[in-house]
Structure 1
């Protein structure tokens, strides 16, 4: 059906040999993406073990544990945009192979870290490798699938992201039950080797045939701006205080530098990214939706881990299993989201998806220490189904807004907004959770020794640790900690739901409705040349 009138253009863009193995290529891309996304969450379940003194762990402090997580996020988010640009220039396959190799090497080094400082360093190097993998996978996808199949392929790609987020805790919990803490990193090495071989054999290379001059000023401004902004966000989450000078200075500095980046790109004769794309309401709404949905999701992922383990008493492995319905829903519905979009339009589908996410988040506001497991599973499934009807359509809108030659840039924009949104979600909603919890628990600390009172009020884990040392006298404090955390979770859940509702309004106002669909699928199957395919989707 796709051969007649558009065949010559299609063959020139996607050779027949590549077209025949496109689904095998997608499987390899998903495999590569899965380990990167999975490793972004797998460390969370190992923090208690790593904090234990040697030989069980490496005796990391709370601050060192936070930076073992944040060093990855900081480097990853800061370099995503630059990695996408580099892939467009030198070739996405080369960038993909290089990124996954660095990721595998850093994983092996992290597994055998003998100190917290080494672990932080190697985690940062893993973030460097991951930054080059993630945008390249989506860029390659856009260059091996024709336009009519891209929504389906992107749906499968988005489903693998959700799967990675959900199975990270399961994988980490299973490994920690049988092996030492470094196994959560060492397991990446054989997976990376398999991925490298499969990529070398199956994945074709692609790049922008006319990339123009390099924009070094734009590249430097994007890196500095993103690193400063993300550092400020992370720092605010650590302190649970966004008014501290060490939070405000980098955050405001990052925003100023990014404003300078936009100003420079508008005036440059060879910009790294064409800022005019953000003038299209559908494009801007799509990237905003990506940020908002991950803001809400990562926030709830953060507090649900403590709810399941600290309040309900589930192990890391059991907690991971409880979140599995979210992954299942994404894997089931994300590849089929395009069919619903064809019938009802991106605006309606994404708005309803956002409302489902908001509803799932709001449900946490009625959870307590006795909420049945099956109810939690249903809520996670609803959240996953909602995300499955948001992420593929908005990703399609972002990626089809740019020419194939700039697919790396489009993927970088998509992933940068997602990463910054997720970091903000953890920092802001984590700060809300911490502030409300501290306010509630402080009135129950009168029986705690003065020297331990400050530590006991920091978090539910700290409170439970102090209560355990008090013996039988600490039982009332355990009950108070659980009640205080559940109250804080209710407030945070409503905040998360509010953010998702804002996302529903944004996509409801600015994404194209069903009436715009025909323009995206020209009759006669005219997959226009690559320069023109970019213009169809978001213009409506």
Structure 2
């Protein structure tokens, strides 16, 4: 079996102190700090763009379809390159590909701000995603190579904390920049972070790679995996627009799944596969991948409609809405190291189910929300969601990367990041579809109950897409009483959709808790292939 080599004589994961000359590059905590910069940049960018999209569309005169590709191009490129990025790092040097990813992501971010056209934004967003695919998996691969097993769970906990906090801070940072600077600044902010990340990482990161000799690179595997993931993610992100039962959506997802099955079959027959199927012999690793997808299905899907609720229904500015979600950020800050400590002591079999149960409680707690709910009904679900997401992120990351052999750390990191992205894309698309469906079936009745004349209520059904985003279809020339009735009925229809979404999400969390408890039978499982 291939071994993992590093650029200093003493393995950093050993309990012995490294030699003085190599102390800087042999310090696991400096490695963790270095990869945190790149991770923070990518995760922050993923959540600030949603705030900037309306301004991008207005400034560049983009259609709704074009604006969707600002997000979709990034997701597609990221999903197609994550496992490849981890494999390249494992074979040719994790430090090298992490630095390439940081550099490319930073330059692409600046290019987006300078592009001046929606086509340029979409192209450079795709490049951002591709370089993010080189960066993300190698953060975990580098940690797996330098931390001893007894400290790896805590390192992953801090990694997860950085990821969660960056994601949660996105709406606040994005709101401040869009309101007080320009939408371009949302991307320019990556420049100083990227420079710091590159310089610091160049000095402290050790090089680690697999001693694989002259093995052939799995080019057919790369092509099959990229095509399969592209088709699945494309079908998912277009499902809300085309309809989940449309021929286009079902066809894209079906083609993607067939190609991925072909990829899995091919990988069992090649000597040096891109994604070793033996990794899935580990029940903990497989369960961790499933729970990671579900975790981000819940987090990104729920945060998406929560921001719609706070901004469009309650009328808060992006900054005000971001401030009100601070309990979620603070809870994630606490939960990630707490989840890591519990995982280190009791294993992911305890931490993952507890985290999923907290998320279920958060979702069911949102059933009490109405169009005029006080903040006292909001912050408890935010705290429960932050605690649950943070704990699951730590435990599932440890279950995936911690149960993979060290030489496959980058590939395992890529697998974790891929399931994360697919889960997040599914969460946003599926929950928006659920809300839209419920709004369509209840809007006319809610408008009539609020006092809107029946004929007008039926006419306003054409605005159900806007109502599904929390926007009431009112105009300036409406009489005050009618305007108030339309706002009340539209808001109630939106809340009906939200309640349907959180019931489905809560049930999925309960099922996830059962899967996590059943899938990890032991507190510690030997890595696959060991």
Q: Structure 2-normalised TM-score?
A: 0.91
Q: 1:237: how far off?
A: 2.1
CA 1:234 to 1:470, structure 2 compared with 1: closer, same or farther past 3 Å? Answer: farther
C-alpha distance in 2, partners of 1:180/1:166? 21
* CA shift digits 1:283-339 (9 cap, x unpaired): 211111111111122211111111111111111111112222222112222123233
Name the residue aligned to 2:36. Answer: 30
Q: 1:114: how far off?
A: 2.0
Name the residue aligned to 2:6. Answer: none
C-alpha distance in 1, partners of 2:217/2:400? 23
Name the residue aligned to 2:90. Answer: 88
Deviates more, 1:372-381 or 1:26-35: 372-381
Name the residue aligned to 2:324. Answer: 322
CA 1:352 to 1:465, structure 2 compared with 1: closer, same or farther past 3 Å? Answer: closer
* CA shift digits 1:98-150 (9 cap, x unpaired): 11111111111111232222211111111111111111111111112122111
Q: 1:48: how far off?
A: 2.3
2:236 to 233, 236, 240: 233
C-alpha distance in 1, partners of 2:456/2:92? 61
Does residue 497 (structure 1) correspond to residue 509 (structure 2)? The answer is: no
Name the residue aligned to 2:71. Answer: 69
Q: 1:459: how far off?
A: 2.4
* CA shift digits 1:191-241 (9 cap, x unpaired): 1111111111111111111163211111110000000100000010223x1
Tell me if the contact between 2:275 and 2:411 (Cα under 8 Å) persists in the aligned partners. Answer: yes
Does residue 457 (structure 1) correspond to residue 478 (structure 2)? The answer is: no
C-alpha distance in 1, partners of 2:13/2:430? 46
Tell me if the contact between 2:218 and 2:272 (Cα under 8 Å) persists in the aligned partners. Answer: yes
Q: 1:378: how far off?
A: 2.2
Alignment map for 1:303-382 (pairs within 5 Å): 303-382=305-384
Tell me if the contact between 1:437 and 1:459 (Cα under 8 Å) persists in the aligned partners. Answer: no
> Does the residue aligned with 1:207 lie in a helix, a strand or coil?
strand
Unaligned stretches of 5+ residues in structure 2: 1-9
C-alpha distance in 1, partners of 2:157/2:518? 23
C-alpha distance in 1, partners of 2:503/2:307? 17
C-alpha distance in 2, partners of 1:506/1:470? 54
Q: 1:343: how far off?
A: 4.5
C-alpha distance in 1, partners of 2:165/2:217? 36
* CA shift digits 1:466-487 (9 cap, x unpaired): 4134433433211111010011
C-alpha distance in 2, partners of 1:253/1:272? 21
Name the residue aligned to 2:474. Answer: 467
Deviates more, 1:188-197 or 1:459-468: 459-468
Unaligned stretches of 5+ residues in structure 1: 1-6, 521-532
Q: Structure 1-normalised TM-score?
A: 0.89
Tell me if the contact between 2:308 and 2:470 (Cα under 8 Å) persists in the aligned partners. Answer: no
Alignment map for 1:257-296 (pairs within 5 Å): 257-296=259-298
TM-align CA RMSD: 2.4
Q: 1:355: how far off?
A: 0.3
1:138 to 137, 140, 143: 140
1:427 to 413, 429, 447: 429
Alignment map for 1:39-188 (pairs within 5 Å): 39-52=45-58, 57-188=59-190
Tell me if the contact between 1:442 and 1:457 (Cα under 8 Å) persists in the aligned partners. Answer: no
Name the residue aligned to 1:255. Answer: 257
